């Protein structure tokens, strides 16, 4: 058989000169199946993954996160300091709460807050560098209610744009709204802004109209790609990265937290018996 050495040499050269850097513009997508008799927001993450992939946007996702995983690093970058933070689950004005009713091991019960501290399992975003965050979406009940909330606090700590919800919202309507939002946030159209994505999602009719009652903070009057970051650097990765799908490069930690966590009575969390009308 006659070999084409020119092609072989060219192939080797292109492999060797592939850049070993990937953009630090990555999204952190976090949801949870809360277990028996509770809500399941894993669909929100799956749908977001699809929209991120269509847009060529990198992401790290986890639908069964632990406290240790969420506070850990990926390739030298703290997970909660990625460019996009998307949390979908139970919430109230001060926090988002992730837990698993069916988990027997520790580590699955933790809180995402802006400035509040609820004990050893609080992921307090004010303790991290929020100036690295372009967009933070707190997809939970009342995360945008009142004059000060987890969304507004995260903006005050340096995030470029944040969003939260003013009222309790049904899971089905919220999931549909979020999917439409993510479908437009990266490609809002000619001359469009991130606000266009909100307007698009709000243009539909939902069984729970409260899903349109949102609070936004920061710069929504520009396109996502135009938002500036203080960490518009690059992080080092292996050459093999060039031959793999960016979104599947990351793996999930299996660490378990064995600490005993303080209980928190979340008065704002409500739940109906109808699965489609479960309240976040």
Q: Which of 7, 4, 49, 20 is nearest to 243 (CA)?
A: 20
- What tens digit of pLDDT does each residue of 18-39 get? 222 334 589 999 999 998 889 9
pLDDT tens for residues 245-259?
223 222 233 322 222
Cβ count within 10 A of residue 229: 14
Instruction: Report how far residue 180's alpha carbon sits from residue 162's, in angstroms, rounded to the nearest whole number.
Output: 17
Q: What is the pTM of this model?
A: 0.76
Which sign does the torsion angle of CA 11, 12, 13, 17 carry? positive
162-178 pLDDT, tens digit each: 999 999 999 999 999 99
CA distance 80 to 87: 11
| CA 96 – CA 39 distance, rounded (Å) | 14
Please list the rounded mean pLDDT of every run of 10 residues in the chain (280 residues).
Answer: 42 32 73 92 97 94 96 94 97 96 85 96 97 97 97 98 97 97 84 88 97 97 77 28 26 28 33 45
DSSP strands (E only) in the chain: 21-23, 26-30, 58-62, 73-74, 77-78, 84-88, 90-92, 95-98, 110-113, 122-124, 135-139, 161-165, 214-218, 234-236
Give me the pLDDT at residue 4, please.
52
Q: At what angle do helices 194-202 and 171-185 cross, to 10 degrees?
A: 140
Could you give the 3-state DSSP secondary structure of residue 62? strand
Give the containing element (helix H, strand E) for 53: helix 42-54
What local confidence, expressed as pLDDT, does residue 101 receive?
86
Q: What is the pLDDT of residue 246?
A: 28
* Cα–Cα dist 133/135, whole Å: 6
User: What pLDDT sits at residue 219?
Assistant: 95
Q: Which pLDDT belongs to residue 278?
A: 57
**Predicted local confidence at residue 229, as pLDDT:** 52
């Amino acid at each position: 058989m006659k070999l084409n050495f020119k092609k072989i040499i060219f192939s080797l050269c292109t492999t060797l000169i592939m850049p070993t850097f990937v953009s630090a513009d990555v999204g952190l997508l976090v949801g949870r199946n809360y277990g028996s008799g509770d809500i399941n927001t894993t669909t929100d993450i799956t749908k977001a993954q699809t929209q991120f992939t269509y847009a060529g946007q990198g992401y790290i996702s986890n639908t069964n996160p632990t406290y240790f995983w969420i506070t850990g690093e990926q390739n030298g970058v703290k997970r909660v300091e990625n460019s996009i933070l998307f949390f979908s689950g139970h919430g109230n004005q001060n926090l988002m709460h992730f837990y698993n009713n069916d988990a027997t091991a520790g580590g699955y019960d933790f809180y995402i807050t802006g400035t509040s501290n609820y004990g050893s399992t609080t992921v307090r975003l004010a303790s991290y560098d929020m100036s690295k965050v372009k967009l933070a979406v707190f997809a939970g009940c009342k995360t945008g209610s009142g004059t000060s909330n987890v969304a507004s606090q995260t903006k005050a700590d340096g995030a470029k744009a944040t969003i939260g919800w003013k009222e309790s919202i049904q899971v089905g309507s919220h999931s549909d709204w979020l999917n439409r939002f993510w479908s437009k946030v990266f490609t809002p159209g000619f001359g469009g802004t991130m606000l266009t994505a909100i307007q698009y999602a709000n243009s539909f009719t939902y069984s729970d109209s409260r899903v349109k009652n949102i609070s936004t903070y920061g710069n929504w009057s520009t396109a996502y790609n135009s938002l500036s970051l203080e960490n518009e650097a690059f992080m080092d990765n292996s050459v093999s990265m060039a031959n793999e799908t960016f979104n599947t490069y990351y793996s999930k930690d299996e660490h378990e937290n064995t600490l005993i966590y303080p209980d928190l009575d979340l008065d704002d969390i409500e739940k109906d018996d109808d699965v489609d009308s479960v309240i976040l």
